[in-house]
Amino acid sequence: MKNSQNQIIRGIIIAKFPSYHVLSIDHKQAFARKLFT
């Protein structure tokens, strides 16, 4: 996945889930895996 695409997706996720940015890296990776699998 391109980096710019990642930034956009992260922006959308943070917009939808305001508490997303306070999660740990592990939680973010698990969350991303859940979204894209």
Give 11-29 pLDDT, tens digit per residue. 887 777 766 666 677 777 8
pTM: 0.37
Q: Is the pLDDT of residue 5 over 80?
A: yes
Give the separation between CA 21 and CA 37, rounded to whole angstroms: 21
Residues 6 or more apart in contact with residue 35 via CB below 8 angstroms: 13
- C-alpha 29, offset from chain centre: 8
pLDDT score at 22: 66
pLDDT score at 28: 73
23 and 31 Cβ atoms separated by less than 8 Å: yes
| Domain with 9 in it | 3-36
Q: Is the pLDDT of residue 34 over 80?
A: yes
Q: Is the pLDDT of residue 4 over 70?
A: yes
Residues 6 or more apart in contact with residue 28 via CB below 8 angstroms: 20
Tokens 């990776």 identify what position? 29
The domain tally of the chain equals 1
